[in-house]
Amino acid sequence: MIRYLLDAFSGPAAVFMYALLGILAFAIAVFIERTLTLWRCRVDAPTVLGAAEKAAASGEKPPGGDTPLERVLQAGLAQADPELGWDAMQSAAVEAEQRIRQRIPYLAAVASISTMVGLFGTVYGLIQAFGAMGDVAAAQRAAALSSGSSTAMASTAFGLFVAIPSLAAHSFLDSQARALLAQIEVAAGRLHVFRRAARS
């Protein structure tokens, strides 16, 4: 299998193989960047929420921090009115969602595009292989067609090799993003309830 993939880089579908290699490098870069970003966004939610509630009760300056959760709670505490604070947290949550989900959809796009590029490479390679049959002696046509077809088919195999891990990476990162956003939503709701109760 590996030999066929390597041979395809010098076969009729070589341009598609190199394109898929570039797409794979892009997907790896996105996965690493998003994984590190989401890891940096993780905080101990109960601790952050406790500090925010303490600041709300005492009127002190809200705790610092640059994670999405901390910025949402800071936006709420910046408003003296709990209802205005809730509106501020909703606006901040939209920005947080954009920051958390940024570039994750690219991996789903990579999965679709790499599959299509692989199929295109196979079709192109087969066209080239069949077109070259006229220049080959009749006794050698079967061998030439077999070699050309296997090299062309490697394009689809490589496309799937790129697509399948990209889909898995997208599912993993999307689940992590959903968990972070749920954490933010729960913390913001609890802070809002705490502030309303404290006010009344």
Tell whether the model's pLDDT for residue 63 goes beyond 90: no
Confidence (pLDDT) at 148: 63
Tell whether the model's pLDDT for residue 27 goes beyond 80: yes
Confidence (pLDDT) at 183: 95
Confidence (pLDDT) at 36: 96
For residue 155, what pLDDT band results from cuts at 50, 70 and 90? confident
Provide the domain limits for residue 59: 2-199
Query: Radius of gyration of the chain from Cα atoms?
Result: 27
Tell whether the model's pLDDT for residue 111 goes beyond 80: yes
Tell whether the model's pLDDT for residue 160 goes beyond 70: yes
Confidence (pLDDT) at 123: 85
| Interacting residues of 81 by C-beta distance below 8 A, sequence separation 6+ | none
CA gap 94, 168 in Å, rounded:
26
Q: Which amino acid is at 28?
A: I
Q: Which amino acid is at 124?
A: Y
- The stretch 154-177 carries a mean pLDDT of 94
* Domains held by the chain: number: 1
Confidence (pLDDT) at 23: 96
| Interacting residues of 191 by C-beta distance below 8 A, sequence separation 6+ | 49, 52, 53, 56, 73, 76, 77, 85, 89
